[in-house]
Structure formats: C-alpha cells, structure tokens
C-alpha cells in the first residue's frame, strides 16, 4: 500500500535515474488581465491521462524515456522576488545534477527565474521565443518584474542578437520598434524558423513557449487570447524542427489558464505540447 | 390538439413512408475519461432548429427527403451487453423494413451494435472510419467491449482489408503497428479518401464518423479532444466525396458530448454533419 | 476627482473633436434562437483593455486618431420600431455633425436603423455585407422587422446591384435563389472581395459585419454558430482590402453574444475587429 | 413505430380526456436585464425525468391524474402584442373546453395574456401573486406592456382588493406606496397566506408564481436574483395551503431562466413546483 | 527529491501506522440521469487544501490523527460487477488490517461493495443512511445493481429493522410504502436521529451519506438535485450526534458530481463533511 | 454628448457635494487559493443596474443621498506594498475632505491600506469584523502582508479589545486560541452583535465585511467558500443593527470573486449589501 503519487503521464522515473526533470511553477502574481495560470501544472498533470504516452508524430513513447516529475514548487503569494528565487534555485539544482529542466508555468515571468540559472551555466545560450506578445516593455506600471517585460529582462542578460521571436502579433509600437535593433522578431507566424534553427543548431538553446502563440480557436484557455495566431499543425511542425537542435539546455511552456476553457481543449493541447517537447528534449 | 412531437429539423416523415431512419443511442457506459455522450441525440434534436433544413453545399433541403426520426432508444444503465443488443435489434428492424439506418451516438461502442445487423445483411460490407483514435485495442482494462476497442471488434467480423481509417492521430504504439497489417490507416487527415472511395464505390459501405476526427478548435465538445485534427471544410469535402458511393448501407455519427462546449458550437457542428449525411444517404 | 468614464481603449476623444463616433446599440429583441447580443458593446468596452491600442497589421495606434465613444443607446424593451428609430436618430446626428458612425450591435437588425440615416445622406451608397446568413427573408414568422430579413429591408431602400455579400453559408433555398437576381452573393468565403472593392472604391460604401461570418472555431460567441466560416486571418485580409475604399460612410459590427463564449475569445476577437475597422475608417 | 413525443413527466394524457392542460409560453421579449426565460418550458420538459412523478408531500402520483401537455406556443419574436394575443387565445380554448390551464413562462408578462381569458370567464376572479418584485410600474421606459408592469395591468382588469401579493422585496418606492391603496402586499415572506386563503377560498382564484419569490440560494436561475427570499420549504408550505382553495381557475409559473444555473438545480426546483401545483389543481 | 504525493489535507500517514483509511471509488456506471461522480474523490483531494485541517466544531485537527489516503481504486469501465468486487476486496483488506475504511464515491451503488465486506466482518451491523432518495427499488430498468436500488441490496443482507433512513424526500410510491414494513424512514429531515443513535449506540454501525440529503442550495453539485433538503448546519448537528456512537465500523460519502457546481462550493462542502467524519471515526 | 460615465446605481453625485465616497480596490495579489476578487468592483458597478435604488428594508432611496463613485484605483500587479500605499493615500484624501469612505475589494488585505488612514485620523477606532475566517495568522508562508493575516495587522495598530469578530468558522487552532486573549470572537453566527453595538455605539467604528461570512448557498462567488455561514436575512438583520452606531468612520466590503458564480447571484448579493451599507453610512 503506497501513498498516492501523481505525475504527468509517462513521467514516473525516480530523480536519480532521470535525464529530464519536469516541474510546475504555479505563479501568476504579475498577471495584469485575467489570473489563473497558477492552476496549469496541476490540471495538466491530472488531465494528461486523457492523452496517450505514445507520439505518432515522432514515433516515441514517453515510457521509453527517463523523466522525473518533481511536482509543483511551493511558491508564496504576493512576493514576486521570492517566487523567482525559488524557481532559479530549483533549476540550478536540476542543472547541477546534469539533467535538463522542463518547467510548466505559471505566467511568462517564471521564465526569468529558470533562465538565470540556465544563463549561469551556459553563458552562450540562445533563446527561441514563441509568443503572441512581444514581452519587451522595460517596465509595466512601474514594475520591472512583469510578464509583460520578461523577454526584456532576458535580453538584459544575453544582449543583442541572441533572442529569436516567432508568432508575435501584439505589443506597443515602441516594443516592436525597439526589437528591430536588438533581436530577431518574426511577426504573426513561424516563417524562417528553419533558418534560425540551422544557424544556431550547435549552440546551447533555451526554448520558451508562451502557448498563446497558438490561435485562440485551438487555445482559448489563456489570460489574453489574441486572434491571428498559429494553428496546432504549424506549432507541431515547429516542434519537429526543434529536433535539429543539438543542444537544448532548457525548456518552458507557460500561460495556460485552464479555467477559461471549460471544454478542456486548451489543457489537452498543453499536455500534447509537453509530450512532444519532452521527446524533443530527449532526442 | 396533438401531443408534442420532437424531431430533428426536417425529419418529420412517418415511419412507413421513410427511406431513412435516424435514431439516438444514448449510451456512454464504457467511456473512460469524461462521460456525457448520452446527452448528444436529445440536445441535437433540440438545437437542430437553429440550423436551416437547406444545404447550400448540396443544394438539397431535408424536407425534399423522407426521413423518420425514431427518437432515442431506452437503454439501461450499467449493462453494456444489453445496450448493444437493443441497438442491434432496432437496426435489424430498420434494415428488414428496407430503410437505411443513421444512428446518433453515444460513445463509439454503439457502432458495434448497429454494425452487427449491417454485417448480417451485407456480409460484404466495407467500413469507412473517421476518427482521431485508432480504437483498435484488443481490450481496455480487461474489457473487450469498450469504446477503445470498437473497431477491433468490427474487424473481428469483417477481417482484413475491409476497414479504411482516416484522420487517426492518437493510440498506443501497438495499435498503429497492428493496423498496418490489417487495414488501411491514413494518419492525421483525409488524404487518399478519393482513392478509397473510387475503389469501393460499388460495394456496400458503412460509414462511422467519430466527430473527434475534427480538430477541437471547431469541435471541443467531446470526451477526449485531440489537437491536430481536420477542419470543418476538410470534413465537408470528405462528405461530398461520399456522394460518389453507390451503396451506403448505414451511417453513424458519434462522440458528441454537448455539455463540454457551452457555446453550443459542437452541437451545431454535429447537426450540420447530420444534415449533410442525411442528404448523402438519400443521394 | 472625476467621475468614472468608461470607453473602448483608445477612444477617449471629446465629441466635438472626433472624426469617428463609436456607439453601442444593445438590442436583441427579434433574435429567434439564443438572445444575448444586448450585452456585446458593454462587455467589449470593458474587455478592450486586454487588447493593445496599437495595430501591428496597419502600424497605427488608436491614440493617433480622434475617436469619441458615445456609450450605449438607452433602448427600450419589447418595442422594435422605437428601438430602430432611436438608432436612426442618433446616426443622423453623428452624420450631420460630419463624423463617421461605427455602431456596435446588438443583433443584425440594428443595421437597418443606422442605414436609414446613411441612405438619407448618401442615396448612392453601396453595401458590403459579411455574414454567415443571407438575412434575405421577406418576413420571419410574419414579422417584417427581423434579424433574418435585415438585408432584405436594406435592399428595399437601395434596390438591385448595390449589395455585395460575402461568406454566406446558411439560409433558405428561396433566399439563395432570390439573391441571384438582386445582388452579388459570394458563398462560403471572401473570394472576389478585391474585385468588388476595385469596382466600388470611389462610391460611398457602408460596411456591415455580422461577426458570425467567422468560423465558430474562432468566434463561438454568437447566437447561431455556423461551421464552415472564414478564419480570422481571412477576415483580417478582407479588412486590409477595405483600406482601398476611398469613401467609407459608416460601419457596423454586430452579433457578438459574449456570454456564449466563456473563454472571452469571441469578445477579444470583436475588439480586435473594432480596432482594425476604426483604423480603416480613419485611413 | 411512433414519432417521438415529449411531455413533462406524468403528463401524457390525450387532450380530450384531460382535466388540466399544461403548456409553455416561451416569451421573454420585454425582459430588461438578462433574457432567457424563453428556454424554460423546453428545458423543464426534458429535465422533468430526473424527478419522480410521485409527491411524498401530497401522497399523489401525476400518473393518477389526467394532464395533457400541449407543448410550447409558437410565439413570434419582436412583437409583444401578438405574443400576448396567442397566449390569450390558447387559454380561452382550454377554458372553453372545461379544462384548467397551467402555463409555464416565459417572463412574467405572459401572465397578462392568460389572465385576460381567465377574467373573461371568471369576472370575479381573485389573484394570488408570489414574487420578489412588485411588478406594479405603470410603464417601463414608456412601455405599458412590460414584465415590470404586469400586475398593474392585471389590476387594470380586476381593480382594488382582488390581488394578494407575497414575498415582495424589490421595487420602486412609488410602487410600494401605490400598492398600499389598491391591494394586499405582504413583504419579504408568506406570512398571512393562511388568512388570505381562508378569506377567498370559495372565490375563483388565479395563482401566478414568479419563481424569483424563492431565495436565489435555491433558485439562482432567473433574470434578476433578489436575496432575502423564501426557502423552498416555505414555498412548499404555501403550496400545501393552496389545497384549501376550492376553485382554482388557472395557474402560471414563470421566470425560470435555466441557463443561469448550470447546476440544473433551478430547473429541478421549477419542475417540482410544477408537479406540486398540478396536484393542487387536481385536488 | 521525492515524487509528487497527493492526499486529502491532513491524511499523510503511512498505511502501517494508520487507524483510518480513506480511499476513492470513482465509479458512476449505473447513474441514470447525469454522470460525473467518478470525478469526486480526485477533485476533493485537490480542493481539500482550500480547507483548514482544524475543525472548530470538534476542536480537533486532522494532523492529530493517523489517516492514510490510499488514492483511488483503478476501476474498469462498463463492468458493474467487477467494480463492486474491487471495492469489496479493498475494503476487506483494510478491515483485516484492523483499520476503519472511509470510502469516497462515486455513485451510491459503491456502498454495496464496501458493505459486503463490512457485513462479513460485522454480521450484526446497523446502517444509518442519509439521502434524498429511498434507493429501495428492487431493480431499475431491469438491473438489480443500480444506484436506485442500493439500499434494497443492503437490506437483502441485513434484513428488517437494521436500516435507519433520514432526509428522504424522493422515490416511487411503492418504495415509500415498502419501507414502512422493513426499516425506519424519517422523511425530509433528521428528526429522531438522536433517538436512533441512543438505541444503536453500542452496535456496530455503518454510516452511508448520500450528500444529496443536503438541500441543493448548499449542494447543487450532484446528479439529481432535490429541493427541500437539510441545511449544512442540520447535517453538522447530525454529525456531532454520531460522536455518541461507540462502534462506527465504516463510513462512505458519495454522490458529489463536482462539475455541476462550477463555484466549487459543493466540493468544499464534501471536503468539510469528510473532515468532520474522519474526526468522528477517530473519536 | 457626454462621455460614458459608469457608476454604481444611485451614486452619481459630484465629488465636491458627496458625503460618502465609494471606490474599488481591485487587488488580489496575495490570494492563496483562487484569485479573482480584482474583478469585483467593476462587475458590481455594471450589475448594480439589475437592483433597485430603493431599499424596502430601510425605506430609503440611494438617490436621496449624496454618494460619489470614484471608480477603481489603478493598482499595479505583483507589488503588494505599493498597492496598499495607494489605497491608504486615497482613503486619506477622502477622510481629509470630510467624507466617509466605502471601499469595495479586492481581497481582504485591502482593508489594511484603508484602515491605516482611518486609524491615523481616529486613534480610538473600534473594528467590527464579519468573516468566515479568523485572518489572524502572524504570517502566511512567510509573508506578513497576506489576506490570511490582515486582521492581525489591524490588531498590530489598535491592540487588544478593540476588534469584534462575527461569523468565524475557519482558521488554524492557534488563531482561535490566540484570539481569546486579544479580541472578541463570536464563532459561526452574529449572536451578541446587539450587545457589542450597544457597547461601542458612541465610539468611532470601522466595519469590514468579508462577504464569505455568508453561507456559500447564497454567496458561492468567493475564493474559499465555507459552509455553515449566516443567511442573507441574518446579515440583513446585522446591517439594520448597525443603524444604532452613531459614528461609522469607514466601511469595506470585500472578497467577491464574481466569476465563480456564473448565475450572478453573488454579485447581486454584494450589490444589495453595498446599497444597504451606503444607507447605513448616511443614516
């Protein structure tokens, strides 16, 4: 009689034997419009059993791999700095133990916590960023630490020409103009992803997927749905493109707010993206 | 003053004069993930009045045809075998009276009940199967009669090379591999449907449409939404392709779970598919 | 300390300085299937703050323009004629003051109120009509003033060859047949919009967008969702095409029923369409 | 093989043999706040099968009685006068055939249509009115025919001291003050119902139950929920009190808006009230 | 780094050290009206963290006790007999190990599985049954194993005068009449619970709580809401009365269908009942 | 043509002429379980038009009074300290201008911001606290500023015997025990409120109403519903008791999370409490 263990489907490995560590960062403290991403990882874990562990896209089964599910971090409420510190620390532990972290947000700001540890270990890291929004404000209502400025904070670390944005279709005029001088921004879709992948395929690469890059027709369960996004098949093709990267050092998937999509489709989509990215990370 | 009669829009013919019989099989007893397909036929009947009886796709009006709506079977709860027997018996009656049955599920297992009577009358029947899932498990948690094994049970009857699957994108690895030796499986989309139709156009053909073949963007109201499906326009083109079949002997449409899509879109989609399939059946 | 003013994002101009006037017509009195469009303008105003005021499609910010938000008309309940009169009167005032009206419905019948004033000032007006439905019944259950007959009523005013319909995929057979003799009807999509725009680009043009022209995958929040519609990207391309029109004299956007889409996506879509149309109107 | 007949549970009698006729009046055309009562009768009919036909409160089974379910009237949209005329005509037919009408609204204004026929046949009729709202405005935004003025219109017919209101807890000051001179108004609860029943027990009595008289804790499914209402047990005691009336000439039950209570409780409550009132009417 | 363990709040004891074992039986296979109780135990486990572990009613904290949470049984779909066998077997194991079982349903039929093992060990067991429904049908649509006949099946085991029902307000006339000869049935409320407790306080007692005994105002999240139930405070007083029982040998709490109450109140109520009953079981 | 002004019903006074100022504090940054109180004030403002401005309980109409609605504070996200500072500053301004503040939360922590200014002006202030929860933790997961510790922070200011709690039914054992030495805590209900009011009626009194003091049957729209609360009638009686206080110096009403109650009942309840408290404040 063992106590009740809950994991994402196919992520039942012990920590010591795992090559990849998936964990949740249930933080939505700076969300400006509609909160709720704090529920994402828990709901995904539960709903993942509606999904098969086998991917017909990559012909791999999650049970072929060695993945540990660390559960959710115990993040406090109302203290953004402490939340990011906890994420940074957990990621550092995973990296130090030689494993690849795959974090489930939470709002997009959680990326900053994980990325600090990534950058520490891989100063040469490049970033692929899928999103509907630029996330490049220098601050938001005076706050430097905000979901709306997270990629700007990442840029503070890596500097120019190391960030590659795709699917962007919302932001302030200033953000779009500023981006032109500092990073590669592909508006509206994933065009040229193949060229970017070809160019950085031997670099350490961190991938951050804000799921609102998807069109809200297939992913309405997010705080700020932005019409005009990519289809699931386009995202799937992007994921398959990632298989050409030789050194993926970390991944995050964020901005699912499951309660806004009562059909459960958005959660099922997030689970499928997670399955495929876990396979990509173990390619 | 007549008592209140409820039918699908345009299906108001008396039984004796009908060429086609539509009826509901409100059974979801083996659904493993999220139940609710038991509500589909009743809700569709009611919501069908938001739809026009005229199809601009086929330039036919349902009122031009002779369709009887038999209401819903009075299926007991917790007894899978008896449920299938009732469906089989009703279908046999319809077939014996020289009419074409069009059944509304219910979960996909209901197909087995109807198909047994079809197979009895048309031993040479071929099957076109639209679905997101393979449905080819030999059993599910030990149960032979399961929504997850229904096509395997159909295969038990018809044997190799008589089943043609389209849109499949989820299943166990073993199911995908087993299918290669026993049937035609077109993954992800409806490619090659035209070739299959051309090949079997003079055979008796049974068509089973699991509506989750559609992408959940347009059909979220189902137990297990699977991203990466076909669009409504692709399905519509498939339906128009069916017009080339010369001997459609039965049809079912299943796996709508209306309560998971509070917008009513999924129900409206199911009603439109029903309208178009009724016209195809009477071509 | 000023009292609490609520406007659509970026529509904060005073009336006297505005070139464009946006206002709500919260009327759904003839809706036959599912009511609720009365809530559209109010909910859009509130949710518009989840949207950016900057359009990366047209590289214009709403704050660059001069738009006044007049709030919602105080329409009575249960009196269709009076409702239309109030809309007509308000539109006349806006036109007389030399401003362009952009009305948010409400059900599609509200178009008739606004259009009467438009037609009064611009007898040569041409109409571009995006919709899933023909809206060409001569009456509906005996009522001449109905959402299902609104374009027929517009035709009563302008006569043949002045109405251009796109995206139409639902109606009675008689409506489709009647339309062939009296207007241009492009079924299912926006094909040939470029040719129509080229042809009438120097005429006064009124644009009426029934948002259910969109596929319900991206716009489920409407009374009668009709699968097989256009994607958001197709609509966006149509909107950009409107930039070639030289004399847009009025616009309406209608049939959002926000409560049917609990994810908020439909409202967000309507807000984005509004933003883009406001920019088009001020091109 | 008979076509699909739908009735409230236990209301399966033919018209000719019935003593009581239940029918739906799906009209919500003057609803000012949140529409949706048009769906009540249809949803109640369908959900009534979750209820037992036997009442342990009155020890009677609906199948002991002779009740005909006439379905729903085919009310047009956007024409209040015509809607009331249809209701009046149908009620007159039922009364002329010597049967007792029990109408399911719809908004409260439907009472006026039925009551006109009642008053025609029984000029001495007295009215018991359960409601949260006074419904005594002389007009609402200029409209004489409004859910907010329906009891005032009933008073126009019967005059002073013939109307007995219970449970009232919302209205304009003027309504409360006006009522003091023209009828009996019991605020907040059902106190003194026994005395009123005793007083008018041999008169012809019409009972109109606006279900929002119930506290929204048990009946949230209504357009304008008003806290501070009566409990279900209090309502049930009131219904049992009605058994002492010797000449109930008509009943209506209105203002269920089923879609606002996704749990289905409000619909189940309305069905139970209907069951008990049907038994009362046949006492 | 330990794998993610999920328990009800305060139930974190190891099996070997526990005095009480709580486990879920996610079965709803015979539910006739609206399914969904299969989700209850999982959702309760997750939502229990919104509750405090301390009861101000009994001044006890769950962490003072020794409770093991065994998770959910892995019940197959579509096989009622096998489901009951699994429950019986698990309960037997718990009893054999000298611990008290507290089962979370699932539909009410699960009681039969657990009770068989209880009856095996305690042939003299008495049953306290809280419910809105009699559950005394001999069969339901021909099925002997049904949620609607579960207490009849329990009676098959224990015979006359060993079952004590409270809160009953729905059933067929025959059930109410049959009950008079075979058990104690207290309609509508918990009156006389104190006398029953006094009478059987030294007997082995099994308590089965169908949560729909509560009024749907406080517990709408159930398949068949029945107005006229007891308040939470009345239930709480009943629970405190149970403290006088000296030999509680098993408990079950069933019929929560969390998805029908989107506010989460019903789940929170079920969790609080669970907390209080766990304390009662360990008194 | 004036821009669109939105206020609570009956709160249309200019600031300079107002005796009472109502404003929203849309902050939910420390909410631990389910966020969403940020939406309360905006939704209440909009839904208040379903309510009458006249109170039949106090026979006063809001339009008789002079109330200014200041809209919502523009609170940043992810910075608790700054949020509280903004609330404190706004409250100070209102107090300095000789008006009474009535704040709509937001989560309960907002009380601290307003109360600091109150305490500054009225060092002798006493506090009446209605709540389900003690809110007396010294910190929550290490955070001193938390909804779970707000009354402890208020105590830090006022010290012993100045706080009077009612309706409390949830908390840690330590909180209940600590409270015994430092304040008056009435568990479960409003008993003895009359005595407390009598005792402090000539003192300056601040009233903070956490609406979850109500039973979730009538108020499910809150983050942490706690069964066993007071009825609306009990709360109403408490409010009428407040009329005996001679010096109410400030009020807040908090913890409505409107989206958890899709029926709108909770919002309507909050609006009615607001109406009655506005009248109490102007007695």
CB contact under 8 A, B28 and E38: no
Q: Kindly list the residues from chain B whose CB atom is less than 8 angstroms away from the CB atom of residue C140.
A: none
Please check whether residue D262 touches C, CB under 8 A: no
Could you tell me the pLDDT band of residue E2, with boundaries at 50, 70 and 90?
Answer: confident
Residues of A in contact with E4 (CB under 8 A): 5-7, 45, 69-72
**pLDDT tens, A141-163?**
889 999 999 999 999 999 999 99
Q: Residue C3 has what pLDDT?
A: 83
Cβ-nearest to C216 among B52, B218, B262 = B218
The verdict on A69 touching E (C-beta cutoff 8 Å) is yes
Q: How far is F39 from chain E (nearest CA, A)?
A: 15
DSSP string spanning A126-151? EEEEE-SB----S-BTTBSSSTTSHH
Task: Measure CB to CB from residue E218 to each of F168, F173, F216 and give the nearest one.
Answer: F216
| Residues of chain F found within 8 Å of residue A146, distances taken between Cβ atoms | 77-78
Q: Which of D3, D46, D258, D264 to mutate to test the interface with B (most CBs of B within 10 A)?
A: D3
Burial grade of F188 (CB within 10 A; 0-12, 13-18, 19 or more): middle
Q: What's the CA gap between E64 and F130, in Å, rounded? A: 29
User: Tokens 């479960």 belong to which residue?
Assistant: F188
Handedness of CA C226, C227, C230, C233 (dihedral sign): positive
E122 in F contact zone (CB under 8 Å): no
- Please check whether residue C254 is in contact with residue C37, taking contact to mean a CB–CB distance below 8 angstroms: yes
Instruction: Give the number of other Cβ atoms within 10 Å of residue F104's Cβ.
Output: 27
pLDDT of A283 above 90: no
Query: What subunits touch chain A, counting only 3 or more CB pairs under 8 A?
Result: B, C, E, F
pTM value is 0.97
What would the two tokens of residue F3 be?
A: 């821009």
Q: Where residue E141 falls among pLDDT bands split at 50, 70, 90? A: confident
Residue D143 has its nearest CB partner, among C32, C36, C79, at C79
Report yes or no: E173 at the A interface, CB cutoff 8 Å. Answer: no
The reported pLDDT for the residue numbered F141 is 87
Q: What is the DSSP string of D166-179?
A: EEE-B--HHHHHHH
The rounded Cα B121 to chain-centroid distance in angstroms is 19
Distance CA C227, CA C169 (A): 9
pLDDT attached to residue F6: 93
Q: Is the CB of residue D106 less than 8 Å from the CB of residue D24?
A: yes
Q: Are F263 and D217 in contact (CB under 8 A)?
A: no
Between chains, do F146 and A78 touch, taking CB under 8 Å as contact? Answer: yes
Contact status of F141 with chain A (Cβ, < 8 Å): yes
Any chain F CB within 8 A of the CB of A105? no
Please give the Cα distance from E230 to E215 (Å, whole number). 5
Q: pLDDT tens, F205-215? A: 999 999 999 99
Residues F172-186 have a mean pLDDT of: 98
B188 touches chain D (CB under 8 A): no
Residues in chain F within 8 Å Cβ distance of E215: 217
Q: Which residues pair with D22 in a beta bridge?
A: D69, D102
Q: Kindly list the residues from chain B whose CB atom is less than 8 angstroms away from the CB atom of residue A232.
A: 215, 217, 227-228
* Assigned token pair, D77: 């949209």
pLDDT at residue C56 greater than cutoff 90: yes
How many residues are recorded in chain C?
A: 283
Q: List CB contacts (< 8 A) between C226 and chain B.
A: 268, 272
Question: How many C-beta atoms lie closer than 10 Å to residue A142's C-beta?
Answer: 9
Q: Band of the pLDDT at B33, cuts 50, 70, 90?
A: confident
User: pLDDT for F57-87, tens place per residue?
Assistant: 999 999 999 999 999 999 988 999 999 999 9
Band (B15; pLDDT cuts 50, 70, 90):
very high
- Give pLDDT, residue A33: 86
Confidence at B128, pLDDT banded by 50, 70, 90:
very high
Chain D: residue nearest E260 by CA?
D263
Q: What is the mean pLDDT of chain C?
A: 97
CB distance from F61 to chain D under 8 Å?
yes
CA distance E139 to chain B (A): 11
Chain B residue numbers touching E28 (CB-CB < 8 A):
35
Instruction: Verify whether the Cβ–Cβ distance A79 to F143 is below 8 Å.
Output: yes
Q: If residue F176 lies in a helix (H) or strand (E), which one and from where to where?
A: helix F173-182
Judge contact between E267 and E255, C-beta under 8 A: no
- Residue B226 binned pLDDT confidence (cut-offs 50, 70, 90): very high
B269 has a chain C CB within 8 A of its CB: yes
Q: Looking at beta carbons, which residues of chain C come within 8 Å of D143?
A: 76-79
Partners of residue E25 on adjacent β-strands: E105
Chains that touch C (3 or more CB pairs under 8 A): A, B, D, F
Q: By percentage, how much of chain A surpasses pLDDT 70?
A: 100
Question: Given an 8 Å threshold on Cβ–Cβ distance, is F77 in contact with A38?
Answer: no
What's residue F4's pLDDT?
Answer: 87
Contact by Cβ (8 Å): D268, E169: no
Complex confidence, ipTM: 0.96
Q: Show residues of chain C in contact with F6, CB under 8 Å.
A: 4-6
User: CB–CB of F30 and A145 under 8 A?
Assistant: no
Domains of chain A and any CATH numbers: 15-281 (3.40.800.10)
Interface test with A, best of C211, C218, C253, C274 (most A CBs within 10 A): C218
Distance CA B215, CA A108 (A): 27
Helix (H) or strand (E) holding F195: helix F193-200
What does pLDDT average to over chain D? 97
D72 touches chain B (CB under 8 A): yes
- The answer to whether the Cβ–Cβ distance between C68 and F1 falls below 8 Å is yes
Q: How far apart are CA B76 and CA C177, in angstroms?
A: 48
Whether E265 and F33 lie within 8 Å, measured CB to CB:
no
Q: Which pair of structure tokens corresponds to residue B205? A: 């053909």
| Min Cα separation D238/chain E (Å) | 13
Distance spanning both ends of chain E, measured CA to CA = 36
C131 is in an annotated binding site: yes
Predicted confidence (pLDDT) at residue B1 exceeds the cutoff of 80: no
Q: Is C210 annotated as a binding residue?
A: yes
Exposed, middle or buried: residue B122 (CB in 10 Å: 0-12, 13-18, 19+)? middle
pLDDT for C33 beyond 90: no
Nearest to A173 among C61, C232, C268 (CB): C61
- Establish if E180 touches chain A: CB-CB under 8 angstroms: no
Going by pLDDT thresholds of 50, 70 and 90, the confidence category of residue E33 is confident
Nearest to D61 among E170, E173, E221 (CB): E173
Query: Does F1 score more than 80 pLDDT?
Result: no
**Residue A24 pairs with which residues in a beta bridge?**
A72, A104
The annotated binding site of F is made up of 108, 131, 133, 135, 210, 212
Residues of chain B in contact with residue A52, where contact means CB-CB under 8 angstroms, are 170-172
Between strands C60-61 and C54-55, the pairing is antiparallel
Chain A within 8 Å of C269 (Cβ-Cβ)? yes
| pLDDT beyond 90 at D199 | yes
Both tokens assigned to D16: 């000719």
**Residues of chain E contacting F260 with CB distance shorter than 8 Å:** 262-264
Query: Does the beta-carbon distance from F6 to C1 stay under 8 Å?
Result: no
Chains that touch D (3 or more CB pairs under 8 A): B, C, E, F
CA distance C124 to chain B (A): 31
- Kindly determine whether residue F51 and residue D228, on different chains, have CB atoms separated by under 8 Å: no
Touching chains, E (3+ CB pairs < 8 A)? A, B, D, F
| The pLDDT of residue C239 is above 90 | yes
Gap between the Cα atoms of B102 and B21, Å rounded: 6
Q: Is B55 helix (H, G, I), strand (E, B) or coil?
A: strand
B262 vs E: CB within 8 A: no
Nearest to F144 by CA among F223, F81, F224: F81
């Amino acid at each position: 009689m063992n106590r009740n263990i809950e994991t994402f489907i196919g992520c039942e490995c012990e920590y010591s034997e795992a090559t990849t560590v998936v964990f949740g960062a249930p933080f939505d403290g700076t969300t400006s419009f509609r909160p709720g991403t704090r529920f994402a990882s828990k709901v995904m874990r539960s709903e993942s059993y509606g999904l098969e562990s086998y991917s017909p896209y990559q012909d791999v089964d999650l049970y072929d791999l060695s993945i540990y599910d660390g559960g959710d971090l115990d993040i406090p409420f109302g203290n953004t700095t402490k939340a990011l510190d906890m994420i940074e620390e957990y990621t550092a532990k995973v990296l130090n133990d030689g494993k690849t972290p795959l974090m489930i947000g939470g709002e997009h700001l959680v990326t900053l916590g994980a990325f600090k540890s990534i950058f520490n270990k891989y100063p040469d890291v490049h970033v692929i960023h899928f999103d509907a929004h630029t996330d490049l404000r220098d601050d938001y209502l005076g706050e430097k630490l905000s979901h709306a400025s997270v990629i700007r904070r990442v840029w503070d670390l890596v500097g120019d020409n190391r960030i590659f944005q795709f699917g962007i279709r919302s932001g302030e005029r200033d953000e779009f103009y500023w981006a032109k001088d500092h990073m590669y921004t592909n508006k509206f879709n994933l065009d040229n992803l193949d060229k970017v992948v070809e160019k950085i395929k031997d670099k350490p690469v961190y991938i951050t997927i804000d799921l609102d890059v998807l069109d809200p027709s297939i992913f309405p369960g997010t705080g700020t749905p932005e019409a005009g996004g990519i289809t699931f098949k386009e995202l799937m093709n992007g994921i398959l493109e990632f298989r050409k990267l030789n050194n993926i050092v970390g991944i995050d998937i964020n901005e699912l707010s499951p309660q806004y999509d009562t059909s459960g489709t958005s959660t099922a989509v997030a689970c499928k993206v997670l399955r495929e990215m876990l396979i990509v990370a173990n390619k």
